[in-house]
Amino acid sequence: MPTLWIVHRDAGRRAVLARLSGAGEDTILGDPASRLFEGSPPADVVILGLAGDFEVELEFAHRFAPRLGQARWLLVVEGKDQADARRLFDTLDAELVVFPPSADELRRRLRSALTRRSVDHLSERRARDAVAARFARWFARLDLPEVLRALDPRLARTPVLIRGEHGTGRTLLALYLHAFGGTSGGALVRVSCQPNLAAGDLLAPIGAVAHSERSHRSLTVVLEDVDRLAPAVQRDLRGWIELAAPPVVAHSAWVRWIGTVSGTPAEPEPVIDTGLRQALAAIPISLPPLRESRERIVALAEDAALAFCEATGSRPRRFALDALEALSQHPWPGNLRELEAVVARTLAATSSEIIHAGGLRFDTEPLIAAAATAQAPAEETEPETRPLAPPSDGLEADAGGAEESPELETWRLMEEPEGDPGSWAQEPETLTTEPEAPEPSPAEASPQMGRAVPQELAFRTAPAQLVGDQALRRFLASISHELGNSATPLRTAAMLLPERFNDPEFRARFGKIVQTDSRQIEEVLARLSRFTSFGPPARSALDLSAILDTLVDEQRPDLEVRQVLLLRELERDQPRVLGDPAQIRFSLEVLLRKALQLVKVRGDLYLASRFHPHGLRGAPSIRVLLRFHTAARILPTGSVEGASLSETALDLLLIEAIVRAHGGRFTLDAGESMETVVLIDLPAPASGPQGSGGIAAA
């Protein structure tokens, strides 16, 4: 449920406002000078009553408005004080309510404040996905630990200085930091800095954006080539960053400054002011030119070609060895932007499946003269002895760019109580089409420590639920699918072995296939064996965040091999669930492993958990959210039964069975751009030990 703060100096008026607003148990009442709100859950709506000279209330708004960037404010004032309230609270995105309001009026204002839409438009979502995809292509193979620091939401107000040559992706990185670094809900302004730009000219585009509704949450100012500004303007800018933001951004909750500068400091001009450089470089990031990391060129070219083919809807094409060699030897004065332009220009000029060096278009003409090109075959077929590859089942991760789920949507999913009619997001489609078990009685709906699990949810009877109906078909199909994926390559290789036995390269590949696929079969059988060994869940209080932290650490080698960035934001204040330790750990371990199989190479995983006092049929719960992008189709389309991952993935069925046996809920949803969202709700004790939250990256 939304959290409401009611703040007033007078205890009697606080009580009146609570009664008129219909305040529930998620309401916190207190004096504006009290420290009560320091440790309280963040407010969705703040009712702030004004009295006296407004000094205490102004200080309260000054302290909490930046922390509550998404909150809505209602200022309750006497009729004669409305003008002073508007003047003194000028930067606060607030509505005025004259005291005493009627109950209907106050509740209407509250409903209006809660339903104001602040989600991104479709065009903004597409732009954000494009930034994420290009960022993944350009920077996946670079070791840039400073980028992780800059993405930490706790450092979202910290200035950033990005140094690099033109074309190395300086502005792209700045846009990515805004989209995924804790300021995605705020406004963005880009300023192209020029030597003749005066301070007023610099502030004009910033001020135009600073009056938008988004800037009330935050404002990101990207200063492109800030070192080109005149020295006097650079000094003014340093003062705005170090001391106080200019008046034109007074309506913004806070401002993040990101500057880009030339990566060739040996040149005498332009020069960045030493003070400005130090003010911006709280987080310094240096991007290397492409010529200094030639080992990346081949992969960058292949990724760019794949992205071009996906965008144009054409079949995948590749570069021949001579073309890759030519690309690797080119000096690339325009860096990554030039490389991507060359790839796009080349693919647009030909329909050949294999591109030779003669077809590369570094400018407007092919690299090799037309006479030399004419000697090469117009099109080349695949070599006869191409490597043996197992058939694709949709589980192999795509090598394209990774995309990030929007932070705002993530927390809407995390905050949504189950079945709440006032929820802020629609509940995703559930994994199965079968009706859920009947609602438990009130006694069962409030799980207690050590309470026995109802017999109908016990694992000893779970096979009976899976056998004999549609669920049986799903269960058997998933086993067949998992084992068949490994058996098919083995059978294909075995058929080719007699005629290719004298080929040492084929024999080596055959040995690898046998070793890899037999291990996969053993792993499937091992998971089934562990699952069938489980009895009824023996419930105890478990620290779910600690379990997730341990599992993430165990998966770190696979994360590094696949170059996957995992961001986690886990519940630290009340992290406990009621469950069987072995079964809960097994289900979460299987979930993380399956996500790593599905997520794109160099992609992103977002893992979060949050406590809900009434999140599971009115009882306390912990909600676990996992979201990522994949090339596999998750949900059924209705055209081919049993073809989607949700119908055939054995791991998902095992997870769902465990969650349901604990009285929880498992939900799987596929969003736009092949985004997958997994939600798990597990029963929790009514209260838990206090701690501290945080975000981490693996």
Q: What is the CATH number of the domain that holds 554?
A: 3.30.565.10
Considering the domain architecture, whether residues 499 and 438 belong to the same structural domain is answered as yes
Q: Which whole number is the average pLDDT over 176-200?
A: 86
Q: Using only the alpha carbons of the chain, give its radius of gyration.
A: 29
Q: What does 128-172 look like in DSSP terms, one character per residue?
A: HHHHHHHHHHHHTTS--HHHHHHH-GGGTTS-EEEE--TTSSHHH
Place of tokens 């949450």: 217
User: Last residue of a domain, which of 235, 257, 288?
Assistant: 288
Is the per-residue pLDDT at 313 higher than 50?
A: yes
- pLDDT-derived band at 270, boundaries 50, 70, 90: low
Q: What is the pLDDT of residue 513?
A: 76
In terms of pLDDT, which residue wins out, 679 or 92?
679
Query: In 10 A of CB 324, how many CB atoms?
Result: 17
Q: Residue 330's pLDDT is what?
A: 92
How large is the average pLDDT for residues 107-131? 71
pLDDT averaged over every residue in the chain:
75
Task: Calculate mean pLDDT across residues 553-581.
Answer: 88
* Residue type at 567 in one-letter notation: L
Which pLDDT score is estimated for 542? 92
Q: Which letter does DSSP use for residue 573 in this model?
A: S
Q: Is 238 a domain residue?
A: yes
In this structure, what DSSP letter does residue 40 have?
Answer: S
Confidence of residue 530 (pLDDT cuts 50, 70, 90): confident
Q: What is the mean pLDDT of residues 424-452?
A: 37
User: Percent of the chain at pLDDT above 90?
Assistant: 25
Tell me, letter by letter, the H, E, C secondary structure of 68-102: CCCCEEEEEECHHHHHHHHHHCCCCCEEEEECCCC
The pLDDT of residue 477 = 56
**Strand partners for 98:** 77
For CA atoms 350, 352, 354, 359, give the dihedral sign.
Answer: negative
Report the pLDDT value the prediction gives residue 505, as an integer from 0 to 100: 77
pLDDT, tens digit (0-9, with 9 covering 90-100), for 58-79: 999 888 887 776 688 899 999 8
| Count of CA atoms in the C-beta half-sphere (13 A) of 49 | 24
pLDDT in tens, 542-554: 999 999 999 999 9
Q: Quick check: is 249 in a domain?
A: yes
Q: What is the pLDDT of residues 460-482, one digit of tens each?
A: 334 334 333 455 555 655 665 56
Confidence of residue 232 (pLDDT cuts 50, 70, 90): very high
The answer, yes or no, to whether residue 312 has pLDDT greater than 80, is yes
Whole-angstrom Cα distance, residue 67 to residue 154? Answer: 11
Name the more confident of 363 and 137.
Answer: 137
Same domain, yes or no, for 245 and 327? Answer: no
283 and 296 share one domain: no
The answer to whether 561 and 529 have CB atoms below 8 angstroms apart is: no
587 vs 182 pLDDT, higher one? 587
Pick from 234, 254, 232: nearest CA to 245: 254
Same domain, 83 and 109: yes
pLDDT at position 551, please?
A: 92
**Which of 89, 115, 141 finishes a domain?**
115
pLDDT of residue 115: 64
Per the structure block, which two tokens stand in for 593? 């492993």
Q: What average pLDDT does range 636-643 have in this prediction?
A: 36
pLDDT over 80 at 106, yes or no: yes
Q: Report angle CA 361, 365, 371 to the nearest 5 degrees.
A: 110
pLDDT at 398: 34
386 within a domain of the structure (yes/no):
no
Nearest to 270 by CA among 238, 228, 230, 232: 228
Mean per-residue pLDDT for 512-516? Answer: 77
Q: For residue 428, give the 3-state DSSP assignment.
A: coil
Are 608 and 624 in contact, with CB atoms under 8 Å apart? yes
Q: Report the SS3 class of residue 608.
A: strand
In a domain, 472, yes or no: yes
Of the pLDDT bands very low, low, confident and very high (cuts 50, 70, 90), residue 129 is confident
Q: How far apart are CA 236 and CA 233, in angstroms?
A: 5
Q: Are residues 622 and 474 in the same domain?
A: yes
pLDDT band at 673 (very low <50, low <70, confident <90, very high): low
Whole-number Å distance between alpha carbons of 271 and 284: 17
pLDDT at site 234:
93
Contact (Cβ atoms closer than 8 angstroms) between residue 599 and residue 630? yes
Check: CB of residue 304 under 8 Å from CB of residue 344: yes
DSSP category for residue 361? B
Flag whether 399 is in a domain: no
Residue 16 has pLDDT above 80, yes or no: yes
Same domain, 543 and 653: yes
Q: What pLDDT score was predicted for residue 399?
A: 33
Residues 594 and 464 placed together within one structural domain of the fold: yes
Q: How far apart are CA 623 and CA 620, in angstroms?
A: 10
- Residue 400 counted as domain residue: no
Instruction: Say whether pLDDT at 171 is over 90.
Output: yes
Domain containing 363 equals: 292-375
- In 580-664, where does DSSP find H-type helix? 581-598, 645-648, 650-661
Task: From 603, 428, 653, select the one nearest 595 (Cα to Cα).
Answer: 603
> Is residue 176 assigned to a domain?
yes
Question: In this structure, are 198 and 180 located in the same domain?
Answer: yes
303 has pLDDT over 70: yes
Whether pLDDT at 247 is above 60: yes
* Number of domains forming the structure of the chain: 4
- Average pLDDT of the residues in 363-370: 43
Residue 212 CB contacts under 8 Å (≥ 6 apart), including other chains: 187
Least confident of 94-108, 193-207, 411-425, 667-681: 411-425
- Mean pLDDT for 33-52 is 88
Q: What is the CATH number of the domain that holds 213?
A: 3.40.50.300
CA-wise closest residue to 390 among 277, 493, 270, 536? 493
Per-residue pLDDT, 584 = 93
Residue 539 has pLDDT above 60, yes or no: yes
Range with the largest mean pLDDT of 295-299, 480-484, 524-528: 295-299
Contact in structure between 422 and 619 (CB atoms under 8 Å): no
pLDDT score for 413: 56
In 231-287, which ranges are E strands?
255-261, 283-286
- Please report the pLDDT score of residue 565 as a whole number: 87
Once rounded to an integer, what is the mean pLDDT over residues 410-432? 42
Q: Are residues 306 and 283 in the same domain?
A: no
Q: 579 Cβ partners below 8 Å, 6+ apart?
A: 537, 539, 540, 542, 662, 682, 683
Kindly report the CATH number assigned to the domain that includes residue 350.
1.10.8.60
> Whole-model pTM?
0.45
Return the amino acid letter for 618: G
Please tell me the predicted confidence (pLDDT) of residue 362. Answer: 87
Residue 269 sits in the same domain as residue 304: no
Predicted local confidence at residue 488, as pLDDT: 60
Cα separation of 656 and 459, whole Å? 12
Which of 81, 115, 149 corresponds to the end of one domain? 115
pLDDT over threshold 90, residue 9? yes
Q: Which of 31, 27, 8 is nearest to 99 (CA)?
A: 8
Domain-located, residue 106: yes
Q: Which of 283, 119, 252, 239 is nearest to 188 (CA)?
A: 252
Q: Is the pLDDT of residue 597 over 50?
A: yes
Nearest 5°: CA angle at 630, between 658 and 603?
Answer: 105
Continuous H helices in 281-358: 297-312, 321-329, 335-349
Q: Looking at residues 518-523, what average pLDDT do you find?
A: 77
Residue 448 carries which side chain, given as an amino acid letter? Q
Please check whether residues 152 and 169 belong to one and the same domain.
yes
Q: Which of residues 49 and 446 earns the better pLDDT score? A: 49
pLDDT of 380 above 60? no
Mean of pLDDT values over 515-530: 78
Q: Say whether the peptide bond before residue 537 is cis (omega within 30 degrees of 0).
A: no
Domain containing residue 57: CATH number? 3.40.50.2300
CB count in 10 Å sphere of residue 613: 16
pLDDT band for position 599 (cuts 50, 70, 90): confident
Give the per-residue pLDDT at 464. Answer: 39
Among 611, 625, 525, 582, CA closest to 41: 611
Indicate if 10 and 33 belong to the same structural domain: yes
